[in-house]
Structure 1
Amino acid sequence: MNDTPRLGTGIGWRPEIADTVEALSGVDWVEAVAENLCAGHLPESLVRLRERGVTVVPHGVSLGLGGADRPDPRRLAELAECAEALGSPLVTEHIAFVRAGGPRTASPVLEAGHLLPVPRTRDALRVLCENVRIAQDALPVPLAVENIAALISWPDEEMSEGQFLAELVERTGVRLLIDVANLHTNHVNRGENPARALDELPVEAIAYVHVAGGIERDGVWHDTHAHPVTRPVLDILAELRSRVAPPGVLLERDDDFPPSAELAGELTLIRETLEAGGAATVRASSAPEAVAPVRASSPATEDPADPADLADATDATDPADTTEAARARLALAETALLSALVAGTPVPEGFDPRRLGVQSRALAAKRAGVVAKVAPELPGILGDGFRPAFLAYAARKPMRGGYRRDALDFVETLLIEGRPEDPAARRRLTLWWQERAGARPPRRAVRLVRAARAALVGG
């Protein structure tokens, strides 16, 4: 893909570090979360960066290209407008599902508030390919899709990650955004060999690379984007560089932002890793008897299928077995998983209950953290009681309409239940709710009527 733009070294632009990003030297480009931007009212910081010639790439997080439903035209239109307003050479999204349920299932629509892994199956590949093509047709610039980190594995997968991504590229021509931190996460959490994944990838399709930090707790790696980049992640970046010179590499940081000197130091480490990897590649290629290293396969992934055989098998489906039928099967599978994670329904067969418990708690904690950010008045009103109250609410109430709607639903639930007990705090919460949602919170009778209607619809 010779028309892939050369981006250089970049950093994720976030409002909290906008001034720092502008002041950092040697930043060739930035990436901004698309859902946090309005095409008609771009942040002044991004406008100034664009005027200086810094490339800005919008990075989407809510399309859910790996979900059973086709991409939402409204979300696609907003992403397209954002790319045009920024003059971006490409846009990026994730190979993930973020919601499930709806008409294809017996469940209301559930929101994960997080990127969840799709099963590496022929059904999921068929659906993903169609969704990617729909997105490509709607966008004014090329699309690149990112591999995600995961705490959980789907049972009975039919492909490795590298094979799955290679097939996706072959069928759609989509570019890849390879996150080496996510490859490390999946190595720790799911036993997947990052070197094998890199060997199987069509590296010529790489648009750029993400590098980010995380932390290990009790044998589980959490891709936090809130910690320094670790040596194992840089080692995978070096492995990738030994195969290809990526058009761009970007440092991601989403929370617990360090001083600018630390961010500059991490960017320097990334540049040094790329330079060292490039030099090692030159030395290896010029050696008279260079021998390719033997890479160990994990026990779970030995004897990989030939990609050509895989393509033949994937295409040899019954003509009557349509993509719509694959969507129906995928919808049921993803809804069962998401419902177990956010609504406390039974763990689907084949999943590790302990890992699902870890993921469920992580989703609830993320909900609490994001709601505290989008509605910072709530921790101010509730104090130390905010987090336990929200986690108790989240255990009973799946998210159905985004984080701002989640904040409103949380407050509504507290007020209907007569909480908090402190009258002054309750008055402040009532005023907060009234200013954002309506004349007054619904009373208990209204809540019961809503519940009855929901039960009838669900039945």
Structure 2
Amino acid sequence: MRLGIGIGWRPEIAAEVEALTGIDWVEAVAENLCADHLPGSLVRLRERGVTVVPHGVSLGLGGADRPDPERLAGLAARAELLGTPLVTEHIAFVRAGGPLTASPRLEAGHLLPVPRTRDALDVLCENVRIAQDALPVPLALENIAALISWPDEELTEGQFLAELVERTGVRLLIDVANLHTNHVNRGEDPAKALDELPVEAIAYVHVAGGVEKDGVWHDTHAHPVTAPVLDVLAELRSRVDPPGVLLERDDAFPPGAELAAELETIRGTLRSAARAGTVARAAVPPSSPVAPAAAAPAAAGAPAASSALPTPSAPSAPSGNERDTEPLGAPRPGARDRTAVAQTALLSALVAGTPAPEGFDHRRLRVQSRALAAKRADVVAKVAPELPEILGDGYRPAFLSYARSRPMNGGYRRDAMEFVERILVSGGLPDPVAQRRLTHWWEDRSGPRPPGRTTRLVRAARAVLVGK
């Protein structure tokens, strides 16, 4: 199966995506789709023969908990609805706390890196197998961008991904922008990661833009693709012809002509890298004992690079120095508990202001904490667009102040409700018209239930305003 060149489908640019020529496939965020019907734009694209791949963001397969059956069922339903050849998710954790740590459940609101340790790999592998069993099509997992590094990691990114593939047969979605992000933020060499990971397991590739501020690369998906990211794409293409390459854009959407130009730049980068690889291979005599690094296979005995998706291999047994007596695929005793404690401590420091765990860079934790709060504010503004309209320029500072003292634990819509409740209970707004609109907004969404203290306070506040 070849996917070809694609673009991330988003409702904000649905018309522009439909108008693009030469698009072979699109990727849609799974959680933004209903499980029983599709937006008209995706229906029309599918009727034209354009493949649609659902891209999940909320499973949290790198988390300490086993995957939520309801989330898996929802992803499976979307795969069935789309008739897709595969589904994708991330190597990340997105929530922590709960029963494993006897602490409140916390949500990150974004993708956070898992530690590259044996414990975390054990947990991830078991979670991946659970997901594979629940999904009707193959699963591919994406490497994520990170602002922070875990202390005492045992594996490089390439080693971590290689062992994940070996033990589960899962495919890979390699984001070259994320490899560049980790180069800037964590000092990791993208070429080394590509040398170590099994490139024959790549299902497709992401390309996206970002921006550097104060020595930190922010993977924004809201800026044009930069030359360093294209250089990493060329490095990857020199090793393998990926079945698909996709341009991601999630914000600050440009006109369709700019998207088309970026896609053409990606095509040109792939063509140039392919030609360069052909010349490099031709320059090496057949008897030469050393081939160029770009032409070398991923590992001794690995299958030849191919544009087709590989058939997943059966998970291999762990080596003798790991665990000889445990069932294949079972995490080592205590691995989930240890992973849960570590991830909860980190997430609590990021979203609840608790002390930073030992070994982390405190400055980077502050950067990550601010980034999570900003992301949270952006998403709440999208799911509840009336709030920035009512609050105007005061929306963002008010939300960030709220987020510093109130971790998210019930999803973005619940977050929006609690944000408004805090405003109304803490004294409301000086503008009576805005106060009235905000009160109506909250009451319209609070649902039929016995009024609690907050509801009574809101109603009392409204009564006072009406009386005026």
Tell me the TM-score normalised to structure 1 length. Answer: 0.90
- Give the Cα–Cα distance (whole angstroms) in 2 for the partners of residues 229 and 9 of structure 1: 15
Is the Cα contact below 8 Å between 2:129 and 2:168 reproduced in 1? yes
Look up the SS of the partner of 2:98 in the other structure.
coil
Look up the SS of the partner of 1:144 in the other structure.
strand
Judged with a 3 Å threshold, the aligned counterparts in structure 2 of structure 1 residues 348 and 318 are, in CA distance, closer, same or farther, namely: farther
Are 1:390 and 2:399 matched, yes or no?
yes
**Comparing 253-262 and 277-286, the one that deviates more:** 277-286
* 1:150-180 Cα shifts (integer Å, max 9, x gaps): 0000000000000000000000000000000
Match of 2:223 in 1: 227
Structure 2 unaligned blocks of 5 or more: 295-301, 303-316, 458-468
- Give the Cα–Cα distance (whole angstroms) in 1 for the partners of residues 109 and 348 of structure 2: 13
Q: CA deviation at 1:110?
A: 0.3
Judged with a 3 Å threshold, the aligned counterparts in structure 2 of structure 1 residues 165 and 392 are, in CA distance, closer, same or farther, namely: same
Match of 1:299 in 2: none
Of the candidates 439, 448, 453, which is equivalent to residue 443 of structure 1?
A: 453
Are 1:7 and 2:3 matched, yes or no?
yes
Q: CA deviation at 1:369?
A: 1.0
**Comparing 322-331 and 230-239, the one that deviates more:** 322-331
- Give the Cα–Cα distance (whole angstroms) in 1 for the partners of residues 11 and 243 of structure 2: 25
Q: CA deviation at 1:424?
A: 2.2
Is the Cα contact below 8 Å between 1:56 and 1:88 reproduced in 2? yes
Judged with a 3 Å threshold, the aligned counterparts in structure 2 of structure 1 residues 197 and 422 are, in CA distance, closer, same or farther, namely: same
**Comparing 334-343 and 414-423, the one that deviates more:** 414-423
Question: Where do 1:327-406 residues align within 5 Å?
Answer: 327-406=336-415
- Give the Cα–Cα distance (whole angstroms) in 2 for the partners of residues 20 and 288 of structure 1: 45
Of the candidates 303, 328, 335, which is equivalent to residue 326 of structure 1?
A: 335
- Give the Cα–Cα distance (whole angstroms) in 1 for the partners of residues 150 and 324 of structure 2: 22
* 1:63-92 Cα shifts (integer Å, max 9, x gaps): 000000010010111101101110100000
Letter matched to residue 434 of structure 1: E
- Give the Cα–Cα distance (whole angstroms) in 2 for the partners of residues 367 and 76 of structure 1: 23
- Give the Cα–Cα distance (whole angstroms) in 1 for the partners of residues 231 and 452 of structure 2: 55
Is the Cα contact below 8 Å between 2:24 and 2:50 reproduced in 1? yes
- Give the Cα–Cα distance (whole angstroms) in 1 for the partners of residues 456 and 338 of structure 2: 36
Match of 2:267 in 1: 271
Judged with a 3 Å threshold, the aligned counterparts in structure 2 of structure 1 residues 314 and 254 are, in CA distance, closer, same or farther, namely: farther
Look up the SS of the partner of 1:345 in the other structure.
coil
Judged with a 3 Å threshold, the aligned counterparts in structure 2 of structure 1 residues 104 and 314 are, in CA distance, closer, same or farther, namely: farther
Q: CA deviation at 1:319?
A: 4.8
Match of 1:158 in 2: 154
- Give the Cα–Cα distance (whole angstroms) in 2 for the partners of residues 10 and 323 of structure 1: 40
Q: CA deviation at 1:317?
A: 6.9
Judged with a 3 Å threshold, the aligned counterparts in structure 2 of structure 1 residues 145 and 136 are, in CA distance, closer, same or farther, namely: same
Look up the SS of the partner of 2:236 in the other structure.
helix
Is the Cα contact below 8 Å between 2:284 and 2:291 reproduced in 1? no
Tell me the TM-score normalised to structure 2 length. Answer: 0.88
Is the Cα contact below 8 Å between 2:37 and 2:81 reproduced in 1? no
Q: CA deviation at 1:46?
A: 0.3
Match of 2:312 in 1: none
Of the candidates 429, 451, 454, which is equivalent to residue 420 of structure 1?
A: 429
* 1:387-410 Cα shifts (integer Å, max 9, x gaps): 111111000000011111110010
Judged with a 3 Å threshold, the aligned counterparts in structure 2 of structure 1 residues 226 and 186 are, in CA distance, closer, same or farther, namely: same
Q: CA deviation at 1:324?
A: 5.7
Match of 2:211 in 1: 215
Are 1:142 and 2:138 matched, yes or no?
yes
Question: Where do 1:75-86 residues align within 5 Å?
Answer: 75-86=71-82
Are 1:50 and 2:57 matched, yes or no?
no
Judged with a 3 Å threshold, the aligned counterparts in structure 2 of structure 1 residues 288 and 124 are, in CA distance, closer, same or farther, namely: closer
Of the candidates 420, 430, 436, which is equivalent to residue 411 of structure 1?
A: 420
Look up the SS of the partner of 1:109 in the other structure.
strand
Of the candidates 168, 171, 174, which is equivalent to residue 175 of structure 1?
A: 171
Q: CA deviation at 1:422?
A: 2.3
Is the Cα contact below 8 Å between 1:167 and 1:311 reproduced in 2? no
Q: CA deviation at 1:6?
A: 0.7
- Give the Cα–Cα distance (whole angstroms) in 1 for the partners of residues 432 and 326 of structure 2: 65
- Give the Cα–Cα distance (whole angstroms) in 2 for the partners of residues 117 and 338 of structure 1: 11
Match of 1:301 in 2: none
Of the candidates 239, 242, 249, which is equivalent to residue 243 of structure 1?
A: 239
Letter matched to residue 312 of structure 1: S
Q: CA deviation at 1:420?
A: 1.5
- Give the Cα–Cα distance (whole angstroms) in 2 for the partners of residues 213 and 6 of structure 1: 24
Displaced runs of 4 or more, over 6 A = none
- Give the Cα–Cα distance (whole angstroms) in 1 for the partners of residues 273 and 208 of structure 2: 18
- Give the Cα–Cα distance (whole angstroms) in 2 for the partners of residues 314 and 352 of structure 1: 32
Are 1:96 and 2:92 matched, yes or no?
yes
- Give the Cα–Cα distance (whole angstroms) in 2 for the partners of residues 122 and 433 of structure 1: 46
- Give the Cα–Cα distance (whole angstroms) in 2 for the partners of residues 404 and 210 of structure 1: 29
Q: CA deviation at 1:286?
A: 1.3
Judged with a 3 Å threshold, the aligned counterparts in structure 2 of structure 1 residues 437 and 411 are, in CA distance, closer, same or farther, namely: same
Q: CA deviation at 1:203?
A: 0.5
Judged with a 3 Å threshold, the aligned counterparts in structure 2 of structure 1 residues 444 and 26 are, in CA distance, closer, same or farther, namely: closer
Judged with a 3 Å threshold, the aligned counterparts in structure 2 of structure 1 residues 315 and 420 are, in CA distance, closer, same or farther, namely: same
Structure 1 unaligned blocks of 5 or more: 296-306, 448-459
Look up the SS of the partner of 2:334 in the other structure.
helix
- Give the Cα–Cα distance (whole angstroms) in 2 for the partners of residues 99 and 405 of structure 1: 15
* 1:409-440 Cα shifts (integer Å, max 9, x gaps): 10011111121132222221111011111369
RMSD of the alignment, in Å?
2.1
Judged with a 3 Å threshold, the aligned counterparts in structure 2 of structure 1 residues 262 and 423 are, in CA distance, closer, same or farther, namely: same
Q: CA deviation at 1:288?
A: 3.7
Letter matched to residue 334 of structure 1: Q
- Give the Cα–Cα distance (whole angstroms) in 2 for the partners of residues 57 and 80 of structure 1: 12
Is the Cα contact below 8 Å between 2:281 and 2:292 reproduced in 1? no
- Give the Cα–Cα distance (whole angstroms) in 2 for the partners of residues 427 and 222 of structure 1: 38
Is the Cα contact below 8 Å between 1:209 and 1:248 reproduced in 2? yes
* 1:274-315 Cα shifts (integer Å, max 9, x gaps): 1111111111111144755579xxxxxxxxxxx9xx963762
Q: CA deviation at 1:370?
A: 1.0
Letter matched to residue 175 of structure 1: R
Look up the SS of the partner of 1:315 in the other structure.
coil
Letter matched to residue 271 of structure 2: E
Q: CA deviation at 1:323?
A: 4.2
Q: CA deviation at 1:385?
A: 1.1
